């Protein structure tokens, strides 16, 4: 009987592609739900409830960095783990979760004073329960990702979101429960997600607590510190706006940011999760690491520079059509935020690689320098206006892109100038679609039609034009490491794709 042996790297590649498929399938459904439900909730509730929840979620996102402790990433990165390791990580994460819930609940009155919003106290205290709840599923989630079984993660996420927001959040908002409709939806989603995730794995949970029992604490601490600096860069604007402006203004900024961030996060987080697991399994093969890194970074740039370029040209249609005229204050914020998050998507592929090969300190240095410059810049910007803050966010993201991508390329022993080869074509395509989208929006004969119809026309025109641009520029896009990567996964792609890209079949 003839049998074919599968090379370990080939097996990892196949599992990674399968994981990506499930990740993006789940994310597509999740993004559609979040987008639709978010619009309905925004129209029902208005800016203030979203501003209150934005404050609580800001605190929660920071607390989550300590609650997870980087131990989940350590489980994935380690080549060998035991039941002893699983028990110690679970026990440590649960202990940290309970501790952080208590600390955040106790600090809630002071945090409300910092944000000049007394109503935020109770919201923060109730939301603090999520740290303890989600700790029940964190270890199981890491074990699932370690095995690249992202189908389970996506199914769990979709079920929990539907129950939390569709089943509870929307009805409560309709019956005038205001901010508490968002709080109940969030806590329900977290609770169901944690329980379902543990149900999939059912790992040992008998307590095993103590620094000597958890060999991952040092690596986890490095990941946590890294995540904190990343959080600071991503959320400093929200903290400063919440401190310097009214809650309703924070709500407007938060909705504009989330509208732009939602598609970027859905795509990049899925890619990051799979790449981190894949990098960890092939960390001793520098050629594979470099090829995959350049390909993934180029792909993110090719997706988001053109898409966000088109969006940045027509915020005066996007905001009122989706959220209504009471959100028009978000219109001028869209352009800088679109550009900033396109850059963020491009640099987001560096972190998983550096962590997977055991060098998170490289990312930490780049992010600390970005924070050192970004903090005073954003504080100054807040003295001017919210719009100035948004443009300053763009500046910090550009700095972060240069520092982080160049540092990653050096670790991979590649030339720093590769950064320009990665982003030059996406920049050109993004600039073209920006001008194209703006030009169509200015057509005089379109002005007589409703804004929703004009928006549909522009989206449709861009959706047709962008693939044509990619086809015309394919020789400049599909080359070098990208070309080699596509050849390596030939058996996963249809022949028609190779004909379109000009690659030999």
Taking each helix axis from N to C end, the angle separating 179-201 and 129-146, rounded to the nearest 10 degrees, works out to 40
Same domain, 253 and 396: yes
Give CA–CA dist 328/335, Å, rounded. 14
Burial class of residue 428 (count of CB atoms within 10 Å of its CB; 0-12, 13-18, 19+): middle
Count of domains in the chain? 2
For residue 361, count other CB atoms closer than 10 A to its CB: 12
Q: What is the DSSP letter of 70?
A: T
Give CA–CA dist 316/437, Å, rounded. 12
Task: Please report whether residue 416 resides in a domain.
Answer: yes
Task: Please report whether residue 196 resides in a domain.
Answer: yes
**What tokens appear for 153 in the block?**
């993660």
Same domain, 444 and 317: yes
Task: Please report whether residue 280 resides in a domain.
Answer: yes
Task: Please report whether residue 502 resides in a domain.
Answer: no
The CA-atom distances, in angstroms, between 154 and each of 19, 67, 273 are 10, 22, 12
Give CA–CA dist 244/268, Å, rounded. 31
Best CA proximity match to 282, nearest among 181, 148, 445: 148
Give 466's Cβ-side CA count (13 Å radius).
24
**What tokens appear for 3 in the block?**
């049998």
34-43 in b/e form (b: 16+ CB < 10 A) is beebbbebbe
Same domain, 210 and 275: no
CB 85 within 8 A of CB 216: yes
pLDDT at 155: 86
Same domain, 307 and 379: yes
Task: Please report whether residue 376 resides in a domain.
Answer: yes
Same domain, 65 and 180: yes
Same domain, 257 and 203: no
Give CA–CA dist 483/479, Å, rounded. 5
Give 401's Cβ-side CA count (13 Å radius).
23
303-331 in b/e form (b: 16+ CB < 10 A) is bbbbbbbbbbbbbebbbbbbbeeebebbb
| Cα dihedral sign, 266-271-272-278 | positive
CB 65 within 8 A of CB 231: yes
**What tokens appear for 101 in the block?**
């819930």
Largest interatomic CA distance in the chain = 76
Give CA–CA dist 230/226, Å, rounded. 6
Task: Please report whether residue 232 resides in a domain.
Answer: no
pLDDT at 150: 73
Same domain, 254 and 208: no
CB 422 within 8 A of CB 298: yes
Same domain, 167 and 290: no
Q: Measure CA 178 to chain center.
A: 27
Domain that holds residue 382: 245-496
| Tens digit of pLDDT at every position of the chain (505 positions) | 343 444 444 555 555 666 666 666 766 787 788 778 888 888 888 777 888 888 888 787 777 767 666 777 777 777 777 787 888 888 888 888 899 899 999 999 998 888 888 888 999 999 899 888 988 888 888 888 777 777 788 888 889 989 999 899 999 998 888 889 999 998 999 999 999 988 888 887 776 665 555 566 666 677 777 777 877 787 888 889 888 888 888 888 988 898 898 888 878 877 777 777 777 777 778 887 888 888 888 888 988 999 999 999 999 999 999 888 888 999 999 999 999 999 999 988 888 888 888 788 888 888 889 989 999 999 999 999 999 999 999 999 999 999 999 999 998 888 888 888 888 889 999 999 999 999 998 887 778 888 899 999 999 999 999 888 888 877 777 665 566 665 555 555 556 555 555 555 5
pLDDT at 503: 53
Same domain, 459 and 343: yes
Task: Please report whether residue 437 resides in a domain.
Answer: yes
- Coil, strand or helix at 319: helix
**What tokens appear for 454 in the block?**
């004009």
Same domain, 269 and 167: no
pLDDT at 111: 87
Best CA proximity match to 314, nearest among 302, 330, 331: 331
Q: Report the run of H or E that residue 428 belongs to, with start and end.
A: helix 418-441
Q: Tokens 């509208």 — which residue?
A: 259
Same domain, 63 and 107: yes
| Cα dihedral sign, 481-485-486-487 | positive
């Amino acid at each position: 009987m003839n049998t074919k042996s599968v090379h370990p790297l080939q097996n990892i590649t196949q599992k990674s592609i399968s994981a990506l498929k499930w990740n993006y399938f789940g994310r597509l459904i999740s993004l559609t739900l979040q987008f639709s439900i978010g619009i309905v909730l925004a129209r029902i509730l208005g800016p203030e409830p979203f501003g209150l929840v934005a404050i609580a979620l800001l605190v929660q996102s920071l607390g989550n960095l300590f609650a997870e402790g980087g131990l989940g990433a350590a489980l994935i990165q380690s080549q060998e783990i035991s039941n002893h390791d699983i028990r110690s990580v679970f026990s440590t994460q649960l202990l940290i979760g309970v501790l952080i819930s208590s600390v955040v609940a106790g600090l809630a009155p002071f945090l409300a004073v910092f944000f000049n919003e007394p109503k935020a106290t109770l919201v923060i205290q109730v939301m603090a329960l999520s740290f303890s709840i989600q700790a029940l599923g964190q270890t199981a989630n890491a074990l699932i990702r370690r095995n690249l079984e992202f189908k389970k993660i996506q199914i769990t996420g979709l079920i929990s979101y539907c129950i939390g927001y569709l089943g509870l959040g929307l009805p409560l908002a309709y019956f005038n429960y205001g901010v508490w409709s968002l709080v109940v939806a969030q806590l329900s989603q977290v609770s169901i997600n944690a329980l379902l995730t543990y149900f999939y794995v059912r790992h040992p949970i008998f307590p095993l607590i103590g620094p000597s029992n958890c060999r991952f604490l040092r690596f986890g601490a490095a990941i946590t510190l890294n995540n904190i600096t990343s959080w600071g860069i991503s959320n400093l604007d929200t903290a400063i706006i919440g401190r310097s402006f009214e809650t309703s203004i924070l709500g407007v900024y938060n909705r504009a940011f989330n509208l732009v961030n939602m598609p970027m996060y859905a795509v990049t987080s899925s890619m990051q999760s799979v790449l981190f697991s894949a990098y960890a399994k092939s960390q001793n093969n520098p050629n594979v690491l470099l090829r995959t890194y350049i390909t993934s970074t180029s792909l993110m740039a090719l997706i988001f520079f053109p898409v966000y370029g088109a969006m940045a040209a027509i915020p005066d249609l996007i905001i009122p059509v989706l959220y209504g005229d009471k959100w028009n204050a978000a219109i001028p914020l869209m352009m800088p935020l679109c550009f900033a998050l396109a850059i963020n998507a491009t640099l987001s592929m560096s972190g998983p690689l550096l962590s997977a090969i055991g060098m998170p300190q490289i990312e930490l240095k780049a992010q600390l320098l970005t924070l050192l410059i970004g903090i005073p810049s954003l504080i100054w910007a807040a003295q001017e206006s919210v719009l100035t803050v948004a443009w300053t966010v763009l500046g910090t993201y550009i700095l972060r892109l240069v520092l982080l991508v160049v540092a990653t390329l050096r670790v991979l022993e590649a030339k720093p100038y590769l950064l320009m080869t990665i982003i030059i074509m996406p920049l050109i395509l993004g600039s073209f679609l920006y001008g194209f989208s703006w030009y169509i929006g200015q057509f005089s004969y379109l002005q007589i039609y409703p804004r929703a119809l004009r928006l549909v026309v522009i989206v449709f025109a861009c959706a047709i034009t962008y693939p044509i641009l990619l086809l015309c520029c394919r020789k400049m896009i599909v080359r070098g490491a990208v070309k080699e990567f596509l050849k390596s996964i030939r058996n996963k792609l249809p022949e028609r794709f190779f004909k379109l890209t000009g690659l030999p079949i």
